[in-house]
A and B are shown apart, each in its own frame.
Chain A
């Protein structure tokens, strides 16, 4: 049976990179004595799939991974066991069973919601929030994206699904699918470039609030959190 696990990553845990988070969970699952499915061979490993890698330095309230297990008592019990094996800064928020036909976590990702603010001492002078609002309201937001080979300019607007600005924080819902993954820092870089503001490497504080998958609802595509696919058992 396949389960989907939602967790948060805060505090010093933001400094642990994606690959190390995977190793961390493999060990945590052993400590929690979850009846997890292993592959065969000389070095058996757990069947695990993470939704969207989170960059070093970012916090999150909505991380997901899928795990293949042989059995469990119920979702709540597995959640409690795993939480007992966590270190400070990572908390299991939900455990859901996935229906048979559910796609894997990574392929299911359509969008992510971020909360971005300037770190103390790095805020631009003046009323940057108003300028930012105007920046986002443009018909067309041209940004430069650096790939391994080249730089290319493209219009970001279609990849920006929704946004709001409140109390010095910008909340952005952007495309996070494999074809159009947008980092929130990209938007801030474009804004700062336009405004002639020098953006320091460490100026932004970013928290991922949620990771979404897309679902058809009466012919319209809507975004739902990744764990709404599953059910509690």
Chain B
């Protein structure tokens, strides 16, 4: 067992000391003197969130398969420890060895959501690594970012040495080899970064420069170092079966958000919802072989002792061997007394049958994500869920004994009208009505309970809506009130509970999602003024953000509510994610005319992902 980086006195003062001690089951221990490269893999949020992330577990397993590499984990110290570490000048450490992160060769940070950007600065700062890439020297780790937010890395470009665009399974070994060869031949940090910038998927921001027009839009974005490519193509693993996957995921001592075995059944989504970034950037859909998944399920349950297993994908119902896999898991799990959780399943006869077998109908609820209240608007966003399908699913579920329904919607979608918003209330009411019509009074086990939740639509890069204006905060709040009063007018309003998302934080997410390099200064300043854990409602300080935007001369509306023209150079245009701009433009035009596009399996829409030569594009 290692000595902890923190003294007992500190560990006893902080909430949940188990966040900081390592030593978990399946954590990988190596001899620090016998490895050549040390990689600190970080999720810039608290332990319970970070430990629930599958991607890190995959990469952790991948790196540690190499004898010459030791990959360890790092998470954001919670506010209580953060304060103590600053007061006592304790450098941030990795969990396994408890050694300071600043002594590592690499610090890899996965960037899953925009509101963690200030926590990236917290990690660098506590590690005593200069916040700006250009201030780092030979003695500092290479700071590399990955994950969905790197599809527009510009707002955080100044803080990273490299962004790895795409899936980690393909290029990291080569990057490590390159690092060792540059180091062994006496090369400098810059030598390494220059060579890395020429590897597929690697974006080294310091070798690029942005120039702006007077109106604030981008004039040019070009390499400023010799031999550095103009565009960066995303990396993607085409054979998702025969690749890295953790047979022995780390098992936390404390309860984390995802406290279960997670089986990733496929990557990508065939649906093409126009608001969804994941649906575009992870194209093409690639399925894992069902036999391999069965083996993984058995091994992972055995190696972790978890009491629950969950399937992970963007749309599990589209996995072609779903029935076979679920039937296998039901049998296996019944024997081992393991629970099955099945998120992102379409409500149909099969899923209702499965759900009635694996969960307590009385305690569980049905989930629908119509996203928009009217059929017209659902056509605009290409959400292929019709009212008929929702009502049929609800009808069957009511007969099966369910009486709790959750519905998810977005407000502020392009072309939205008052009628679309009222449609949310009408749909909720129709579902309630259907319950009372379907189930005779004497058979009802309590009232129907409907929970409708709305979030605010935020346009994201690499979606057909990337040019769309976002609503203002005032519009968002008005729309939430409109939704609420429309629900209050319904006959069954007492059965409908309505929740809505905070508007302030949505505006900032919108700013960062489509922001450019000029936002680095804002991030630095808000961090220096104490902003951190912005994704945690109670920690979010909107006033500081607003005040700092003003100080930096940044106009929020330029980034959020402005209509972008199709010929504008967007900050993320240098990234090639396979999906072409002409496809996105076609989809944007179709959206404005409420024309739906069939899914990838029904009819290829020519999005451009065929360049990867595999997956759903080549199924037939």
Contact = CB atoms under 8 A, between A and B. Distances in A.
Nearest to B27: A87
Contact of B251 (A27, A41, A43, A44): A27
B305 A12 contact: no
Contacts of B21: 12, 15
The 5 closest A-B pairs by CB, nearest first: A27-B305, A30-B305, A31-B305, A15-B17, A202-B9
A85 B12 contact: no
Nearest to A27: B305
A26 interface: yes
A31 B303 contact: yes
Contacts of A88: 1, 23
Interface in A15-47: 15-17, 20, 23-24, 26-31, 33, 38, 41-44
Contacts of A217: none
Interface string B295-306: 000000111111
Contacts of B4: 12
Interface string B1-19: 1101000110111000110
Contacts of A20: 18, 253-255
B25 interface: yes
A44 B337 contact: yes
B68 interface: no
B307 interface: yes
Given A24-B253, A87-B23, A201 B12 contact: yes
23 contacts: A11-B23, A12-B2, A12-B4, A12-B22, A12-B23, A13-B23, A15-B17, A15-B18, A16-B253, A20-B18, A20-B254, A23-B255, A27-B251, A27-B307, A30-B305, A30-B336, A31-B25, A38-B337, A57-B11, A89-B1, A89-B23, A119-B9, A202-B13
Interface in B235-268: 251, 253-255
Contacts of B174: none
Nearest to B363: A42
Contacts of A30: 301-302, 305-307, 336
Interface in A148-189: none
Contacts of A202: 8-9, 12-13
A56 interface: yes
Contacts of A24: 253
Interface of B: 1-2, 4, 8-9, 11-13, 17-18, 21-25, 251, 253-255, 301-307, 336-337, 339, 358-360, 363
Interface string A42-62: 111000000000001100000
A11 B9 contact: no
B21 to A, nearest CB: 4
Nearest to A200: B9
A interface residue count range (under 10 / 10 to 19 / 20 to 34 / 35 or more):
20 to 34
Nearest to A16: B253
B304 A31 contact: yes
Contacts of B363: 42
B307 A56 contact: no
A89 B27 CA distance: 14
Contacts of A56: 12, 17
Nearest to B301: A30
Nearest to A26: B307
Contacts of A119: 8-9
Given A27-B307, A42-B358, A87-B24, 19 more contacts: A11-B1, A12-B1, A12-B4, A16-B18, A23-B253, A26-B305, A26-B307, A30-B306, A30-B336, A31-B305, A42-B363, A43-B360, A57-B8, A57-B12, A88-B1, A88-B23, A89-B1, A119-B8, A202-B12
B75 to A, nearest CB: 16
